[in-house]
Chains A and B, each alone.
Chain A
Amino acid sequence: MSSKGILIKNLKKRYGSGDTAVDALKKVNMRIAPGEVVGLIGPSGSGKSTLLKCLGAVIEPTAGQMMLGNEIIYDNGWKVKDLRALRRDHIGFIFQAPYLIPFLDVTDNVALLPMLAGKPNSQARKHALDLLTALDVAHRAKAMPSQLSGGEQQRVAIARALVNRPPVVLADEPTAPLDSKRALAVIRILNNMAKKFETAIIVVTHDEKIIPTFKRIYHIRDGVTYEEKGAGIEP
């Protein structure tokens, strides 16, 4: 798969069947170019989490098409056999809370993904340190997660999401626990990293502080996405 963003066409997700069926996603269309950071905004119950789970290959959509780079990964059924490997090698995840592994130091938290992919420990740690340096947390490389501030933890989580150079990163409210200054710093980092690694980043958020920073925003309401041009203010 080459790093050429993500394309979603008419994605649908239905939970249950018959009278109790719920259409969580009715019509989702998105296109995110490599190096682009877009916002995904919607009220509770609009289908944001379901969309993230579908994009993250955690749950199977009911219909539609998803392309990662120039490869179809879903077309009314998964086209990839090993979803675990797909997640590991091609999708980065950033969560609302950092969810770092508490018993691994910062370097190994980041290096874990390449290690899981079978890279030698030394090489994985080198990649991790390069990324930590780029994110300005290399000085905490040997610290344990519990010794980091909230902002540092989130930067380490960003490093973990990017360490395998995935074509797409899914960020689920990554600034929720942070103050304005730190939240904007995180968005700045995501913008820089997206450009540097040609990664398409989708940021699910409710955070009013960061919404003006997106150049493009997808609204989701009742399982349907609507595209909107954002203010694109430099964070």
Chain B
Amino acid sequence: MISLAGRDILHSWGKFVFTGIGLGLLIGVTLSMAGIYRGMVDDAKVLLDNSGADLWVVQKDTLGPYAESSSIYDDVWRRIQSMPGVEKAVNVTYLTTQVHHGRHDVRAMVSGIAPGGPGTPGWPPYLIAGRHITRSHYEAVADIASKFKLGERIRIRRNYYTIVGLTRRMVSSSGDPMIFIPLKDAQETQFLKDNDAIWEQRRRTAANPNFNKPNSPGLLNAIIASQTTNPYVNAVLVRIKPGYNPEKIAQEIQRWKRFTVYTRAQMKEILVGKLIATSARQIAMFLIILSIVSSAIVAFIIYTLTLGKIREIAVLKLIGAKNSTIIGLIVQQSIALGVIGFVVGKVSATLIMAPIFPKYVLLEPLDSVMGFITILIICTLSSIIAIRAALKVDPAEAIGG
């Protein structure tokens, strides 16, 4: 038996292809939305993986340093470093800010990294150009998504930095490129006040008789000095020695050092489950809406195509075609439309939408497979209305009168 659906598609291929392209663009948007969600999750995982840490020590009772602000003294790392099982403990700061480059600025997450070298927690694990930071001040390593180039000078707050190295896939959980600068610079940047505020603070301190006592001439200078130093960081990244249990060491730090400590699994839960939860829900809603719209469009198209063939269906029924032949004709056309749409959608999502989208779009093969199966199901279900209309056709309609 010949494929009636196949012959009809070949006969009026233009109608099917153009309809399929329209549907495909919609499917492409749907696949891209799924890719955006996957990209957000991947960004969060990349942030954790590239930090090189097993534990995050943060201010007590906070979800820092990514989901909430956290501030701890910058000498805490020494106490943690001395604990059994700790291989490396280093300070780190994170600050999302506008980084200026000429007349333009780029939103980036500036990370202050402690002195050390490649492999130290917090440092970019690899470079694609240039070198790592070797000086104590005013050098930076940037992710290429920032569009900065080697040797360029950028401004973060009031200070200028030279790009000495470029890295890749070092992004914040919201997809902003990361820029690494020395820890001291980052501390100054994070807690820096403008000159007027500093002057005002000194004036107020000097005007306070409790701080400016005639019999204690060094007190005022000591207080002002303490006010202008920044002994804080956002977190301490801890790498555990092989063979030690991260959960156990996290409990020890929490118990004895009185901080909140997160393991990698807990931090992933914070990033994926809390930080991007709202975005994930929004994307899920879009996916549902797009699926409904796609279903409605397929149903409408197939219904219209079927109504255009009512006379042929009546003739087919009159000359003895089984209902299964009629149903096969409609379902196969519906599925063919879905397949054309999926191919167009997959190609447009991979080659057009993902590269130009401002966020990282991760198109997982499994998502494509799931999408394809969903489209086949949607197309099959969408053809039900058309099938009902076709089965209602009276073969007597082919006979005049």
Contact = CB atoms under 8 A, between A and B. Distances in A.
Interface string B1-14: 11010011011100
Interface of B: 1-2, 4, 7-8, 10-12, 311-312, 315-322, 325, 394-396, 398-401
B396 A58 contact: yes
Contacts of B317: 84
Contact of B7 (A49, A95, A103, A173): A103
Interface string A106-125: 00100011011100010000
B400 A95 contact: yes
Given A103-B7, A103-B10, A103-B12, A116 B398 contact: no
B400 A96 contact: yes
Nearest to A157: B315
Given A104-B7, A115-B1, A115-B2, A99 B320 contact: no
Q: Which of A48, A101, A116 has the most CB of B within 10 A?
A: A101
Contacts of A112: 2, 319
8 contacts: A59-B396, A87-B395, A88-B319, A95-B398, A116-B1, A116-B321, A117-B320, A121-B1
A116 B324 CA distance: 11
A89 B399 contact: no
Nearest to A52: B399
A61 interface: no
A121 B394 CA distance: 28
B318 A121 contact: no
Given A58-B396, A104-B7, A113 B12 contact: no
A101 B8 CA distance: 9
A31 to B, nearest CB: 22
A49 B11 contact: no
A53 interface: yes
Contacts of A89: 320
Interface string A62-96: 00000000000000000000001101110001011
A144 interface: yes
A176 B72 CA distance: 96
Given A84-B322, A103-B7, A144-B11, A172 B399 contact: yes
Contacts of A49: 399-401
Main secondary structure of the interface of B (DSSP, over half): helix
A186 B217 CA distance: 126
Q: Which 7 A-B pairs have the closest CB atoms?
A: A88-B320, A49-B401, A103-B11, A103-B8, A58-B396, A103-B7, A87-B320
Nearest to B396: A58
- Contact size range, A: 20 to 34
Given A93-B398, A93-B399, A56 B318 contact: yes
Interface of A: 48-50, 52-53, 56, 58-59, 84-85, 87-89, 93, 95-96, 99, 101-104, 108, 112-113, 115-117, 121, 144, 160, 172-173
Contacts of A99: 311-312, 315, 398
Contact of A101 (B1, B316, B395): B316
A93 B318 contact: yes
Contacts of B315: 95, 99, 101
Contacts of B396: 53, 58-59
B62 to A, nearest CB: 68
B210 to A, nearest CB: 96
A113 B1 CA distance: 10
Residue with the highest number of chain A CB atoms closer than 10 Å, among B10, B325, B395: B395
Contacts of A173: 400
B304 to A, nearest CB: 16
Contacts of A117: 320
Given A99-B312, A102-B312, A103-B11, A85 B399 contact: no
A99 B313 CA distance: 10
A56 B400 contact: no
Q: Which of B1, B4, B320, B398 has the most CB of A within 10 A?
A: B320
Nearest to B401: A49
Given A103-B7, A104-B7, A48 B321 contact: no
Contacts of B2: 104, 108, 112, 115, 121
Contacts of B319: 87-88, 93, 112-113, 116, 160
A85 B319 CA distance: 9
Contacts of A53: 396, 399
A115 B4 CA distance: 11
Contacts of A102: 11, 312
A102 B310 CA distance: 12
A112 B140 CA distance: 75
A116 B8 contact: no
A145 to B, nearest CB: 10
Contact of B320 (A59, A113, A172): A113
B195 to A, nearest CB: 81
B11 A108 contact: no
Contacts of A121: 1-2
Given A84-B317, A88-B321, 16 more contacts: A52-B399, A56-B318, A58-B395, A84-B321, A87-B318, A87-B395, A99-B312, A99-B398, A101-B4, A103-B7, A104-B4, A104-B7, A112-B319, A115-B1, A115-B2, A121-B2
A95 B311 CA distance: 12
A49 B398 CA distance: 11
Contacts of B321: 84, 88, 116
A84 B1 contact: no
A18 B316 CA distance: 35
A59 B394 CA distance: 10
A53 B8 CA distance: 28
